[in-house]
Chain A
Amino acid sequence: MDIHEDIARPELARMVRGRGRFVDDIKLPGMCFAAFVRSEVAHANVKSINVEEALKVPGAIGVITPDEVLPHVNPVRPAAPGSSEFARPYDRYPVPPRNGDGWKVNFVGDPIVAVAAETAHAAQDMVEAVVVEYAPLPTVGNVEQALAPDAPTLHAGMGDNIVFHREFGGGDVARAFRQADLTLEKTFRFPRQTAVPVETRGVIAHYDRGEERLSVWASCRSPHLVRTTISAVMRLPQHAVRVISPDVGGEFGIKGAAYPEGIVLAFLSRKIDRPVKWVEDRMENLLACGHAHEMVVEVSAAASSDGRILGVDAKVLVDQGAHTLGPTSAGLEPMTAGQSIVGPYRIDNFRCDAYGILTNKCPGAAYRGVGTVQGVFVIERMMDMVAARLGLDPAEVRMRNFIQPQDQPFNTSAGRLYDSGDYPDTLAKLLDVSGYERLRAAQAEARAQGELAGVGICCFVEHSSTGSQDYRRRGVYGMPAFDSATIKVDAGGNVLVAVSAKSTGQSHDSVFASLVARELGVPYETVKILEGDTDAVPFGAGTGVSRSAVSTGGAIRLAAQDIKRKAAEIARFFLEGEGEALEIADGQIYAAADPSRRVPFASVAAAAHDASRVVSLPDSIERGLQSTRTFDPPHQTFGHGAHLAFVRIDPETGIVKVEQYVCVEDCGTIIDHVIVDGQVVGGVALGIGNALHEELVYSESGDLLTGTFMDYLVPTAPDIPAIQTTHTETPSPFTEGGVKGVGEAGTVGAFTAVGNAVADALLPLGVEVTHPPVGPQRVWRLINSGAEAGGGQGN
């Protein structure tokens, strides 16, 4: 069912002409500009806020302070961590909460005051003129400090800083360790990273006092979820809030939540009675948008002498920062990392103790590969370590541990149900396509010359398309998991499809339009996709968890079936054949037995709207030709893959060069190869950046030291090798058409394939890689110290 033909892609045509429409491109009549005064101290009680001078700045319009917001809001939900039974509830507000006679701030960058002015420059001038007085509190800088018995607590009433805790697993771990021939104990430390879409966050809020209605233009991927949060927090009925998401300049997980800034902006607009725009600058984006991936994983593995992993015991400590922003509770990263540790392997005995921990750093958000990236790194590093200890080839150790295809669907000891996949076949294909033997020979040759070269493999499963059942299994409540599609055929036979998903670069316009065209049998050019406006599209979860192909695609298929049924019913009035089988193709409805008896789809559409000169429908036929359907993925799908990286390291500088990159991906039935390859290759590039360079570093006092693109390094073209992709297709038994998600697979595979390749290159030096990113500084230190280097790469 792949889209073979070279279709026009309207979403690309607009962009190459510079005719995209992003939040910052929108101007409303009377619009003014906002900026935020942000905390300069990591942990403090704000003693006083003085806005007097700010209001004297030329062009100043107004300010909004915490006390103007606090009496009028409910705590932020569903993003509040209390939405999971394993999470600790606390009240989170869009502004610093009252704390005695002051207000509590919890990270450098915490928004305190919003200002509005006639120009963006004047708004910055106002920010400079606001005076905030702080009474600093001791900083909680990392998970170890947060768990100390005498640690200061971030949120009143919690008693400690543990926001999520769940112990889970299966089998008998203690017995596995008693039977082991070999045990390994390691501690992995993962860096704090952030998504860095090239378009930063942006919001325009307009509270219309005439209509008593709030409109919010926001760069986000889930307009309905943002509306839900805004209406709940601001105590407005949902129909009094409209959220519009125009073109989104990338997001990679981070634009999923309703951010506090957007809610404060709505209050500001209501107060000053003007539309107000805020577009964050890059420094704000790195400082305060949302961070992810930072965690410590302590893991022990028990193995037999033939390389079988008998059991794994893991403790996952996720550094969530000051809050959790993700829409699915504080358990998102801890649970996903923990559950990912068993990977594509049959590990019957598994125990995980997963924690979400609060610290005085930027709040935690989702970022492509959420938790999976880290869980996979842990098990794949352990596979290599077992191989090294036993003198086996790393690929062979994996082959001995895989879940076999005949055992699918497979219930893992980590509490997941895998749907389908032939993992041994995928790895075999990778070894073949990459020329594994040849690469090992090249490595041996390099080693003989005293050079550092390494081969890294990563085998993984990637969950996607989380449904409501999956959320319930994870103990997450109040999180809608279905998506929706409305198909409306107009009297001219053109098809408008409004969906709850929101493209942030995944070409939904062309992918969904081809799906509709194929399902309905109408020309592609007659189909138009509409997204990103809660007034115009049906309610649904939106984009995320690599879900759109499965969930919105599923809803589209169901709605298209309704339309076909109705169209056939009406076509009978044209064809005058009772009960005979009809088919639709190429915009024609025809008798299956005699295709010459046909009627154009457009004529049927006209009749449905009482606009046909040929046929008048009887009263018993309901007018119109439209359907709205929802699809809740019945179960998560698990795509899988095997990636390989070949690297060389310059021992003088520690610079890692990725010379070859090969991946074999399986995301079930493929709808559109071009889009799938785009997701995989782009994901791999992101993963290579994550593995080699990206790290947010804080000082001991809680200041961000990597606040610009000169310090937070994202890969550019010279850093990324040619990436070779191959596919296998194992349809999911759980979804419409057998499709699975693919949005995060590339990132998951690349992070570990590169990490393992660097570790493999350094193996002769007797050092171990447990602390990515493995960029020049850390690698150089590893080479020169002969031991794992600690501390931030930027230090």
Chain B
Amino acid sequence: MMPLIEIRMTVNGREYGGRVESRLTLADFLRNELNLTGTHLGCEHGVCGACTILVDGEAVRSCLLLAVQADGATLMTVEGLADGDELHPLQAAFQENHALQCGFCTPGFLMTAYALLRDNPNPSESEVRQGIGGNICRCTGYAPIIRAIQQTGTV
């Protein structure tokens, strides 16, 4: 076994610690060590965007970061969006607009959209298209995802 490195981080407002191999990705740490399986892996080479989470407020691909790189960081995953039973407006809009079919890419889109709307609360359709251009959805054809994000933006 490789030597283990101690790390600490805040995820969805909760403190976590662990001892990990240096080669463990942040995505694998979240999914397998913290049981936060809402973050999905679609390509593990940084193209599909399914594993997008927020690290210190920035939308990043958790498959391209090592867990040790997130030592000391503040993270937010899809599990942190809702306030208890109350859905985040983005989640509600995705549901209402049928912006998902199989749902596998959805967490990545939600986190990407969260950062997009924070930086640009009223994006045009074209800005949304560009903004989610790093996420792959094979089911919906993107139209309902764009509608959901724009609808949330104008709330």
**Chain A residues packing against B (C-beta within 8 Å):** 9, 11-22, 24-25, 58-59, 120-121, 195-200, 247-250, 252, 281-282, 504-507, 674-675, 678, 681-686, 708-710, 714, 716-718, 720, 722-723, 746
Given the interface pairs A15-B100, A17-B87, the reply to whether A198 lies near B42 with Cβ below 8 Å is yes
A121 touches B104 (CB 8 A): no
Chain A residues with CB under 8 Å of B133's CB are 716-718
Q: Is B1 an interface residue (CB 8 A)?
A: yes
In the docked arrangement, what's the CA distance between A281 and B102, Å? 19
Cβ-based interface call for B141 (8 A): yes
Complex Cα–Cα for A44 and B144 (A): 48
Closest to A6 in B: B96
CB of B56 within 8 Å of the partner chain: no
Nearest CB on A from B70, distance (A):
18
Look across to chain B and name the residue whose beta carbon is closest to the beta carbon of A22.
Answer: B104
Nearest Cβ in chain B — how far from A98, in angstroms?
A: 35
In the docked arrangement, what's the CA distance between A252 and B98, Å?
18
A723 adjacent to B40 (CB under 8 Å): no
Known: A198-B136, A723-B143. 5 other contacts (CB 8 A): A17-B91, A505-B100, A505-B139, A681-B141, A716-B136
Residue B50 lies at the interface, judged by CB distance under 8 Å to chain A: yes
Q: With a CB–CB cut-off of 8 A, which chain A residues contact B1?
A: 58-59
**Residue numbers in A under 8 Å from B152 (CB-CB):** none
Query: Of all chain A residues, which has the CB nearest B85?
Result: A17
Q: List residues of chain B with CB within 8 A of the CB of A714.
A: 136, 138
Contacts of B104 on A, CB cut-off 8 Å? 20, 22, 197-199, 247, 249-250
Q: Is A252 a contact of B142 with CB atoms below 8 Å?
A: no
What are 13 A-B pairs with beta-carbon distances under 8 A? A12-B95, A16-B92, A17-B82, A22-B104, A120-B28, A199-B40, A247-B104, A252-B138, A505-B139, A678-B140, A681-B144, A717-B132, A746-B141
Contacts of A684 in B (CB 8 A): 141
Structural contact, B95 and A9, CB atoms closer than 8 A: yes
Q: In the bound complex, what is the Cα–Cα distance between A200 and B138 (angstroms)?
A: 12
- Within 8 Å by CB of A717, from B95, B102, B142, lies B142
Q: In the complex, A282→B136 CA distance in Å? A: 13
Please indicate which of the listed interface residues A13, A684, A717 has the most CB atoms of chain B within 10 Å of its own CB. A717
B110 in the interface (beta carbon within 8 A)? yes
On chain B, the residues within 8 Å of A720 by CB distance are 141-143
- Would you call B43 and A282 a contact (CB within 8 A)? yes
Among B12-58, those with CB < 8 Å from A are 21, 23-24, 28, 31, 36-45, 47-48, 50
The 8 closest A-B pairs by CB, nearest first: A18-B38, A249-B104, A15-B103, A505-B102, A685-B141, A505-B101, A18-B78, A709-B47
Task: Assess whether B44 is in contact with A282, with CB atoms less than 8 Å apart.
Answer: yes
Measured CB to CB, the closest approach of chain A to B15, in angstroms, equals: 20
Do A504 and B143 touch (CB < 8 A)?
no
Query: How many angstroms between the C-alpha atoms of A709 and B46 in the bound complex?
Result: 9
How far in angstroms is the closest Cβ of chain B from A18?
A: 2
The residues of A that contact B47 with a CB separation of less than 8 Å are 708-710
Given contacts A121-B21, A681-B143, A714-B138, contact A16 B45 (CB under 8 A): no
Number of interface residues of B (CB under 8 A): 57
Closest chain B CB from A196 CB (angstroms): 6
- B130 contacts the other chain (Cβ, under 8 Å)? yes
Q: Is B145 an interface residue (CB 8 A)?
A: yes
Given A22-B40, A717-B129, CB of A682 within 8 Å of CB of B140: yes
Give B28 Cβ to nearest chain A Cβ, in Å. 8
**Residue on B nearest A368 in the bound complex, by CB:** B138
| CB <8 Å contact, A507 and B135 | no
Asked if B43 contacts A504 (CB within 8 A), the reply is no
**Contact of B130 (CB < 8 Å), options: A198, A507, A718:** A718
A14 to B78, CA, bound (A): 12
Are A199 and B42 in contact, with the CB atoms below 8 A? yes
Does residue B94 face the partner (Cβ distance < 8 Å to A)?
A: yes
With both beta carbons as reference points, the residue of chain B lying nearest to A713 in the complex is identified as B47
CB of A662 to closest CB in B, whole Å: 13
Of the candidates A16, A723, A746, which one forms a contact with B95 in the assembled complex, judged by CB atoms under 8 Å apart?
A16
When the two chains form their complex, are residues A507 and B43 in contact, meaning their CB atoms are under 8 A apart?
no
List chain B residues, Cβ under 8 A from A24.
31, 37, 41
Q: In the bound complex, how far is the Cα of B136 from the Cα of A709, in angstroms?
A: 10
Tell me if A250 and B139 are in contact (CB < 8 A): yes
Q: Is residue B67 within 8 Å, beta carbon to beta carbon, of the partner chain? A: no
What A residues does B143 contact at CB under 8 A? 681, 720, 722-723
Find chain A residues with CB under 8 A from B6 CB.
Answer: none
If A12-B95, A198-B102, A717-B129 touch, whether A25 touches B37 (CB-CB below 8 Å) is yes
